[in-house]
A = this chain, B = another copy of it.
Amino acid sequence: MELLDKLVDGDPRALARSITLVEEGLKGADELMRRVYPRTGQATVIGLTGSPGSGKSSLVDRLVTEARSRDRKVGVVAIDPSSAFSGGAILGDRIRMQDHAKDEGVFIRSMATRGHLGGLSRATSDAIDLMDAAGYDPILVETVGVGQDEIEVVRAADVVAVVLVPGMGDDIQAIKAGILEIADLFVINKADRPGADRLQAELDYMMSLISSDGKPKPEILQTVAVRNEGVKELLDGVLRFAESAAGRRRERRHERAHARFLAVLSERLLASALTRALPDDRLEKLVDDLAERRIDPYTGVEQVMKQVLS
């Protein structure tokens, strides 16, 4: 398989093509993933999430530069809210990443949160595996939104850094409720703003309230990404965590394998069931009946299940 050979050789074009192939479920995608799989599991996957406005993109940009200075090839998966309007990644921040555009040691891929058959999580796992097989390590996974999908994706990383920023309103910080518990490490970015130390104290207090089920209290680091302050320490911190016993690397990979298996299985089962039980315009007709309340969804599902399951 020529594509696989080039990918493993580290050819960025082959990597880009492979991701597209798999993302769009084109012919050869399954075979490629099958053959790539044994070559994966090498890279450290670093998840970054946090409130909008916390400067995650700048931080990722600086982390990439820092990792490059250590002679590592770096992969970035940016999970972006997508829009038919903008056709994908929209943030001006992303433009900054173009500093790395000519560096073959940096591979950046935006994943839209919409339009992935089988879900964002499956598509992201595939992209990570492909980067991993191509020798990128670490791989940074950055989310722009903070919805459940994004949280599911980022929590599968080997280490999860949650980025916060001092002085945002309570309503905005409330977002973090859903992401507090997935943090292995907190980053207070824009730490030159007033309130950084207060935020650190609050976080420290909140984390002490969480019953820890043996998980160590997350480290809290301060950064000022735009001035490159604390970035080296952050990269050291996340890599140290990922390698440590506390990092639960094995456990995370187990969780990731579990979630991914279910995602792929679910996607394939649904596609097969629809093809077999509701070919041509039969799905459309059933939906008409559902919308007009001539049949209820639970009865409709039961009928399909009877037809397709052995």
**Which residue numbers of A lie inside 8 Å of B, CB to CB?**
30, 33-34, 37-38, 40-41, 51-53, 81-86, 90-93, 113-114, 120, 144-151, 169-172, 174-175, 177-181, 206, 209-210, 250, 253-254, 256-258, 260-262, 264-266, 268-270, 272-273, 276, 286-288, 290-291, 293, 296-301, 304-305, 307-310
CA distance A111 to B183 in the complex (A): 23
**With a CB–CB cut-off of 8 A, which chain B residues contact A288?**
254
> Which of B84, B90, B148, B310 is close to A181, meaning CB atoms less than 8 Å apart?
B84
Contact A37 B297 (CB under 8 A): yes
Oligomeric state, in number of copies? 2
Please give me the residue from chain B that is nearest to A286 by CB atom. B261
Listed by A's residue number, 21 A-B pairs whose Cβ atoms lie within 8 Å are: A33-B297, A37-B293, A52-B52, A52-B175, A53-B169, A81-B175, A81-B177, A84-B181, A85-B177, A85-B180, A113-B148, A114-B178, A145-B148, A146-B147, A147-B150, A261-B300, A261-B301, A264-B298, A269-B308, A309-B309, A309-B310
> Which of B34, B286, B298 is close to A30, meaning CB atoms less than 8 Å apart?
B298
**Given that A37-B293, A260-B297 are contacting pairs, would A83 and B287 also be in contact in the complex, using a CB cutoff of 8 Å?**
no
Contact B270 A37 (CB under 8 A): no
> Which of B81, B148, B296 is close to A33, meaning CB atoms less than 8 Å apart?
B296
CA distance A268 to B47 in the complex (A): 31
Please give me the residue from chain B that is nearest to A168 by CB atom. B53
- In the complex, besides A113-B178, A147-B148, A261-B286, 6 extra interface pairs with C-beta distance below 8 angstroms are A52-B172, A84-B181, A113-B147, A145-B148, A260-B297, A265-B270
